[in-house]
Structure 1
């Protein structure tokens, strides 16, 4: 086994082929150093890509190093090779690495790169037979190649739309309408329901085993309950992001903190840890209570507090710095408002910029 292994790449974005390369290097060395080279001309920063790979290899003998590299690519130029190599050497030196024993690549330039480090070259799946995927393919068809991305990259790239609002203001209706609309484009789009409602059912069912006459009004809530609900919302949302490029969630952990405040007052913080680990958001859709009849389904109890709750959402979303849109009007108008912004965000998600000298990886198609 060698001592230090080196892997370089753009990882734009990180996919299963990259994971195989890094796993192979980590298995063949005491420690693998991965240089994530990002350019100012690219949509995703080197730090973003490095963070995803760090999450993917958490606990392994792997160090992920983001490197800013705006140097042109020109494999025929000795001068450009020198510039690129010095960028790599000093990125390694900054992490205390003076000697590289093996260079792992899936590229034809691997021999020359390894020779520059006085290291052996280990070629890994040059033909991409194990994982027939490339960064070029992911950038050009993100949706079709979603499952090839490493899970952390999927969680980081997914467009996240969170629908929130007071009781009986149409949050579930809007969520369901949007999911039905976008499942035509994303068949794997997952449900992210309001877990608190199902948790309430379970609590009441347990209570009725002891007291058959108990109703929802007899439930006694604790901060622990809201912590469980909030953490479960995060889990459901993250799983949905891994499944499809779009997440439409019917509430979230932030909303759970407001419901905890509603039931237990300002001094209860059971859901706040989950809120502190809230995944990245793109937009909140806040359903307005105005013009929406209150439907008492036997589980609701807050018609008179709907205006207050709506203001709580506006205040909290603003204070936390989130993008939010108040959706009003008919169900059709609400869907139209939502799809306008979601379509724009999806178009932005599928736009990857690259410098003019960026090479494209084209995989050979077997006859």
Structure 2
């Protein structure tokens, strides 16, 4: 059957989703027209049940247009969270035949047909045979991504490098990066971008622009509630990509904590996954600087009124105090601010 018409199936606990799971899903998606993903365990996690883990997967694979739903490339993902109470999920300790038959019957009840099964487990071939479809093994030896859900649950901090930043944050950990990250916060038109660019040039390294601004412009200012978590996720990904190219230090314009503030400001609520990303900002960045809103205000058509800057500045300081994140306030001209930051980094190094 040609790839363009095949429906693939991946089944797992995803407790929690890790880079090995991502490799599995992305490899599968490249070979099918649609990918079904079943998330379940019995007993399930009390803190992060299947429904929550499924939401993490949806957030990981959300694109710029949330209306399209989660996808990998052009392959749509249909992600289902199953439970013992609602779907009759058998205990994890049940025999292979019971597990296989449960999935077969569940698919039949939903009117879903699959043409190929993908897995990284030894049970995969027998499972696929029970469903009457081919099996494709993906990194069963864990050679490409040497991690497992059991290992992550045993020590999330030690396994953090095998977790996407969004997932790691839900477990309260941050993966160490190749270079220290320095983040700049501040109200609108407080000089963050200008300062980051100047510092990157002075230090011969790279910097990460505020992705929220990028998406805000792409959507002509019409951000939705779901966009805020996506902004924080994409910004974290862009930081990771830039860190691999940075020399000595990486400068970052804005963090997930500020994105969470905007979520509350515009929508009066904040996704728990975004809250978790905000809560680990103290671990993610080696230094936090706040740009004082004392430079001339520039209204570029995307910003709020100048009077809002004072409130934004105070809210950022309150949030940093709440999370007990040390910060340094920088003021003056661009040159003066560059000197203040470089002096602080030298003293702190």
TM-score (normalised: structure 1): 0.49
CA deviations over 1:200-251 (Å, ceiling 9, x no partner):
247999xxxxxxxxxxxxxxxxxx9xx89xx9x98578745986xxxx9696
Show the counterpart of 2:29: 26
Show the counterpart of 1:8: 11
Query: For structure 1, which runs of at least 5 residues remain unmatched after alignment?
Result: 161-182, 206-223, 259-270, 285-296, 301-308, 332-367
Show the counterpart of 1:304: none
* CA displacement at 1:117 relative to structure 2: 0.4
Change (3 A) 1:52 1:236: closer
Show the counterpart of 1:45: 49
Q: Partners in 2 of 1:150 and 1:71 — Cα distance?
A: 29
Q: Partners in 1 of 2:192 and 2:19 — Cα distance?
A: 39
CA deviations over 1:178-218 (Å, ceiling 9, x no partner):
xxxxx9x9997744432327x3247999xxxxxxxxxxxxx
- Are positions 1:118 and 2:132 aligned together? yes
Change (3 A) 1:274 1:192: farther
CA contact (8 A) 2:256 2:274 kept: no
- Are positions 1:71 and 2:71 aligned together? no
Show the counterpart of 1:87: 102
- Are positions 1:36 and 2:39 aligned together? yes
**Equivalent residues in 2 for 1:131-142 (5 A)?**
131-142=145-156
**Equivalent residues in 2 for 1:117-266 (5 A)?**
117-158=131-172, 190-196=181-187, 199-201=189-191, 235=231, 239=235, 252-253=258-259
CA deviations over 1:105-150 (Å, ceiling 9, x no partner):
1111122211210112222221111111111222222223223123
CA contact (8 A) 1:14 1:53 kept: yes
Q: Partners in 2 of 1:123 and 1:202 — Cα distance?
A: 47
CA contact (8 A) 1:19 1:150 kept: no
**Equivalent residues in 2 for 1:247-286 (5 A)?**
252-253=258-259, 272=266, 280-281=274-275
Query: For structure 2, which runs of at least 5 residues remain unmatched after alignment?
Result: 62-69, 196-212, 218-222, 241-253, 280-291, 296-310, 328-349
* CA displacement at 1:279 relative to structure 2: 5.6
CA deviations over 1:243-296 (Å, ceiling 9, x no partner):
6xxxx96962565699xxxxxxxxxxxx62697679632598xxxxxxxxxxxx
TM-score (normalised: structure 2): 0.51
Q: Which moved more, 1:188-197 or 1:58-67?
A: 188-197
Q: Partners in 1 of 2:76 and 2:28 — Cα distance?
A: 10
Show the counterpart of 1:55: 59
Q: Partners in 2 of 1:68 and 1:139 — Cα distance?
A: 20
CA contact (8 A) 1:194 1:250 kept: no
Q: Partners in 2 of 1:299 and 1:251 — Cα distance?
A: 22
Q: Partners in 2 of 1:140 and 1:238 — Cα distance?
A: 28
Q: Partners in 2 of 1:279 and 1:24 — Cα distance?
A: 26
CA contact (8 A) 2:12 2:40 kept: yes
CA contact (8 A) 1:191 1:240 kept: no
**SS of match in other structure, 2:151:** helix
* CA displacement at 1:32 relative to structure 2: 1.9
* CA displacement at 1:158 relative to structure 2: 4.3
Q: Partners in 2 of 1:47 and 1:17 — Cα distance?
A: 20
**Equivalent residues in 2 for 1:254-333 (5 A)?**
272=266, 280-281=274-275, 299=294
